[in-house]
Amino acid sequence: MKLYFLRHAEALDGKDDAGRPLSPHGKKEAREVGRFLKGAGIEFDAAYSSPLVRARQTAKIVLEVCGSAELETADALLNETAPGQFEDWLKDLMEAKHALLVGHAPSLAERVRQLLGITNPEALKLPKGGLGCLETEDRRAATLKFFLTPKLLGVRA
């Protein structure tokens, strides 16, 4: 199973954190990630997003470009979710060849580091619009297949 951990793209500022939408630049970042994935021939069997607006919008744009799975929301992708709760959710996730998981900093990078066995928080960070593809057989440990940033796609300086 390949898990695609995608941090939401750039969002607008606002008092209501849960309701902050993507900025125009954030929408462009999400489209470019989707184009990259489509060009790589990746289609998602499953797609999950945090319930926050900016994460759902990021996921929907990526999925529109890829022409892939229906999006489901998952509280497990919120920062407030304890690591053990995330692990349980991940274990119970339906079997899929390619699963998109869209969430937030700092927890999304923490989940990636945990699966890769990386203990140093400085060793791997996910920028806004950053994507890490991990391959796993048991959902407890994984191998990094690729890491992509908006800068590599030419949409951020």
In the chain, what are the domain boundaries? 2-148
pLDDT of residue 152 exceeding 70 = yes
pLDDT of residue 156: 76
pTM of the model: 0.96
Query: What does the pLDDT average to over 41-67?
Result: 96
Using pLDDT thresholds of 50, 70 and 90, give the confidence band for residue 103: very high
Residue pLDDT, tens place only, 6-15: 999 999 999 9
How many other CB atoms are there within 10 angstroms of residue 39's CB atom?
10
pLDDT of residue 157: 56
Bridge partners, 100 (sequence order): 4, 47
Using pLDDT thresholds of 50, 70 and 90, give the confidence band for residue 67: confident
Q: Is the dihedral of CA 61, 39, 68, 140 positive or negative?
A: negative
DSSP state of 22: B
pLDDT of residue 68: 76
Domain covering 2-148 assigned CATH 3.40.50.1240 in the classification: yes
Amino acid at 105: A
Give the containing element (helix H, strand E) for 86. Answer: helix 83-92
pLDDT of residue 28: 96
